[in-house]
Structure 1
Amino acid sequence: MKLADIIETFISGDWGEEKVAEDTPNSVFCIRGADIVPITNHCFNGIPQRFVCDKTIENKTLKAGDLIIEKSGGSPTQSTGRIIYVSEDMIKAKGNVVCSNFCTAFRVKAGWNPLYVYYFWQNVYNHGAFFNFEGKTSGIKNLQLDNALSAIDIEYLPLEKQNRIVASLASIDEKIKVNRQINDNLEAMAKQLYDYWFVQFDFPNEEEKPYKSSGGAMVWNEKLKREIPKGLDAQKIGDIEKNIITGKTPSCADEDNFGGDIPFVTIDDIRGNLFVFGAQRTLSTKGADSQEKKYLPIGSLSVSCIGTIGVMGFVAKLAQTNQQINSIVFEHEYNKEFLYFALRVYFENAKAKTGNVFANMSKEEFASIIVTYPPKQILQAFHNKIAPIFDSIKNNIEEINVLTKQRDELLPLLMNGQTSVNYHLSAY
Structure 2
Amino acid sequence: MTIYKLGEIATVEISGVDKKIKDGEIPVKLCNFVDVYYNWAITSDLEQKFMEATARTNEIERFKLKRGQVALTKDSETRFDIGIATYIADDFDNVILGYHNALITPNPKKLSGKYLNALLHTDYARTYFANNASGSGQRYALSIDALNNFPVPLLPLAEQERIGDIFSSIDQKIALNRAINDNLEAMAKQLYDYWFVQFDFPNEEGKPYKSSGGKMVWNDKLKREIPDGWSAKSIFDEMSVQYGFPFSTDDFTEEVTNIPVVRIRDILDNTISAYSHEETDDKYRLNEADLLIGMDGNFHMNYWIDNIAYLNQRSVRLRSKQNSNVSIVQARYDIEPYIKAKEQRAKGSTVGHLSDKDLKELKVMVCPNRRMRDALDSLLYRIIANRKENLCLTKQRDELLPLLMNGQVSVNYHLSDN
Instruction: Give the TM interval when normalised to the shorter protein.
Output: 0.7 to 0.9
Q: Deviations over 1:48-72 (max 9, x none)?
A: 9686775896477551534113444
**1:390 aligned to 2:380?**
yes
Change (3 A) 1:305 1:420: same
| Residues 362 and 161 of structure 1, relative CA distance in 2, 3 Å threshold | same
For the residue of structure 2 that corresponds to 1:184, the secondary structure is helix
**Helix, strand or coil for the counterpart of 1:420?**
coil
1:114-145 alpha-carbon deviations (Å, 9 max, x no partner):
22211122125467343432455237555466
Q: Which amino acid aligns with 2:410?
A: S
Structure 1 residue 169 displacement after superposition: 1.8
Do the aligned partners of residues 100 and 313 (structure 1) sit closer, same or farther apart at CA in structure 2, a change above 3 Å counting?
A: farther
Give the corresponding residue for 1:130. 129
Tell me which residue corresponds to 2:86.
Answer: 84
Q: Distance in 2 between matches of 1:44 and 1:354?
A: 32
Aligned to 1:4: 7
CA distance in 2, matches of 1:147, 1:22: 35
Structure 1 equivalent of residue 261 of structure 2: 264
How far the C-alpha of 1:208 sits from its partner, in A, is: 5.0
Question: Are positions 1:408 and 2:412 aligned together?
Answer: no
For structure 2, the 5+ residue unaligned runs are: none
Alpha-carbon spacing, 1:312–1:9, altered in 2? closer, same or farther (3 Å): same
Contact 2:132 2:146 in 1 (8 A): yes
Does the aligned pair in 2 maintain the 1:60–1:98 contact within 8 Å? no
Q: 1:328 aligns with which of 302, 309, 318?
A: 318
CA distance change for structure 1 residues 238 and 354 in 2, over 3 Å: closer, same or farther?
closer
Greater RCO (Cα-Cα under 8 Å, separation 6 or more): 1
1:218 is matched with: 216
* Deviation readout 1:63-94 (Å, 9 max, x if unpaired): 1534113444335xx484332334559x79xx
Q: CA 1:52/1:257 → structure 2, altered by over 3 Å: closer, same or farther? A: same
1 CA distance for matches of 2:295 and 2:36? 20
* Range with greater deviation from structure 2 (180-189 or 123-132): 123-132
1:367–1:426 Cα change, 3 Å: farther
What TM-score comes out, normalization by structure 1 length?
A: 0.74
Q: Distance in 1 between matches of 2:246 and 2:35?
A: 23
- Contact kept? 1:28, 1:97, Cα under 8 Å: yes
Equivalent position of 1:39 in the other structure: 39
Opposite residue 199 of structure 2, the aligned amino acid is F
What's the counterpart of residue 186 of structure 1?
184
Distance across 2 between alignment mates of 1:37 and 1:282: 21
1:340 aligned partner: 329
Q: Would the aligned equivalents of 1:183 and 1:393 in 2 still touch at CA under 8 Å?
A: yes
Residues 339-348 or 215-224, more deviating: 339-348
Structure 1 Cα separation of the partners of residues 235 and 116 of structure 2: 48
State the Cα distance separating 1:238 from its structure 2 match.
4.1
CA distance in 2, matches of 1:57, 1:325: 44
Give 5+ residue unaligned stretches, structure 1: none
Q: Secondary structure at the match of 2:154?
A: coil
Per-residue deviation, 1:216 = 0.9
Secondary structure in structure 1 of the residue aligned to 2:172: helix
Task: Give the drift of 1:328.
Answer: 1.5
Matched, 1:233 2:231: yes
Aligned-partner Cα distance in 2 for 1:248–1:55: 55
Answer whether contact 2:261 2:312 (CA < 8 A) is retained. Answer: yes
Indicate if the aligned counterparts of 1:83 and 1:118 stay in contact, CA closer than 8 A.
Answer: yes
Matched, 1:282 2:274: yes
Secondary structure at the aligned position of 2:153 is classed as: coil
| TM-score for the superposition, normalised by structure 2 | 0.76
Partner of 1:67 in structure 2?
A: 71
Q: 1:345 to 1:299 in 2, by over 3 A?
A: closer
Residue pair 1:176, 1:400 contacting (<8 A) in 2 also: yes
**2:384, 2:106 → 1: CA distance?**
38
What is the alpha-carbon root mean square deviation over aligned residues?
4.4
| % identical aligned pairs | 30
* Distance change in 2, residues 1:310/1:370 (3 Å): farther
Report the 3-state secondary structure (helix = DSSP H, G, I; strand = E; otherwise coil) of the residue aligned with 1:417: coil
Counterpart of 1:369 in structure 2 is 362
CA-to-aligned-CA distance 1:380-427 (integer Å, 9 cap, x gap): 212322333333333333332332232223222332334333324469
